[in-house]
Each structure stands twice: as structure tokens, then as C-alpha cells.
């Protein structure tokens, strides 16, 4: 699909937070600059939280109300319009579970 990217690399998972330690008030948001669509393939997500930690807009969270087939809480984007399409989450994901379309 033109304009879409799907990249990833292996990184050893480390400690993570299920709630962002950054808030939007403390971020220089690029909201309105770019429209992007984030898709998390819940089947491949292992709930490691790396994408949550690296999201520059603090819009990635682990969905504590859902459990995937592997028994993990999958990541989800809670505000597509705020995404700057920085690709941090897709780059960081060790399971290549995130697709960014812009």
C-alpha cells in the first residue's frame, strides 16, 4: 500500500510502564501536522509496552480490558489524530505488530 510502512527490529524487552509517565502537557505536540493511522496486530502483540514508553505523544497504552490469544494485554492507540507518525512505536516493536499509514 503506498505510503504505508511496516518496520521493526529486535530489542531485548526491559522494564516498562503501563501508564505513560509523560503527559501531553509536557510534550511539544505536533498535533495537526500529520494524519496517520496506527494499527496494532493484536495477535502478534505480546504486551511488552515498549511502544508505550517510546510514543512521543503518549497515545499508546496497553489495553487492560482485552486479552489476546496469547494471553497478553495488547497495545492500542487511544488518539489517532494526535499521532505525529514519528514511527517510534513501529520501529521499537520487537514483533513487528504495528503498522503506520500516513
Give me 40's grid cell. Answer: 496494532
- Candidate list 6, 63, 87, 101; residue touching ligand SF4; CB under 6 A: 87
- Candidate list 5, 6, 31, 95; residue touching ligand SF4; CB under 6 A: 95
Query: What one-character-per-residue DSSP string does 62-98 give?
Result: E-TT---TTS---EEES-GGG-----HHHHH-TT--E
Does 83 participate in binding ligand SF4 (rule CB under 6 A)? yes
Distance between CA atoms of 69 and 81, rounded to whole angstroms?
28
- Candidate list 17, 18, 43, 50; residue touching ligand SF4; CB under 6 A: 50
Distance between CA atoms of 12 and 5, rounded to whole angstroms?
22
- Candidate list 2, 48, 67, 81; residue touching ligand SF4; CB under 6 A: 48
Could you list the residues that contact ligand SF4 (CB under 6 A)? 38, 40, 45-51, 54-57, 59-60, 75, 77, 83-89, 92-93, 95, 97-98, 100
Amino acid at each position: 500500500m503506498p505510503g504505508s510502512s511496516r518496520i521493526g527490529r529486535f530489542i531485548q524487552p526491559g522494564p516498562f510502564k503501563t501508564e505513560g509517565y509523560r503527559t501531553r502537557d509536557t510534550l511539544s505536540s505536533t498535533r495537526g501536522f500529520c494524519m496517520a493511522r496506527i494499527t496494532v496486530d493484536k495477535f502478534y502483540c505480546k504486551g511488552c509496552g515498549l511502544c508505550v514508553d517510546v510514543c512521543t505523544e503518549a497515545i499508546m497504552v496497553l489495553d487492560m480490558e482485552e486479552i489476546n490469544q496469547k494471553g497478553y494485554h495488547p497495545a492500542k492507540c487511544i488518539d489517532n489524530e494526535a499521532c505525529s507518525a514519528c514511527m517510534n512505536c513501529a520501529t521499537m516493536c520487537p514483533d513487528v505488530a504495528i503498522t503506520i499509514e500516513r
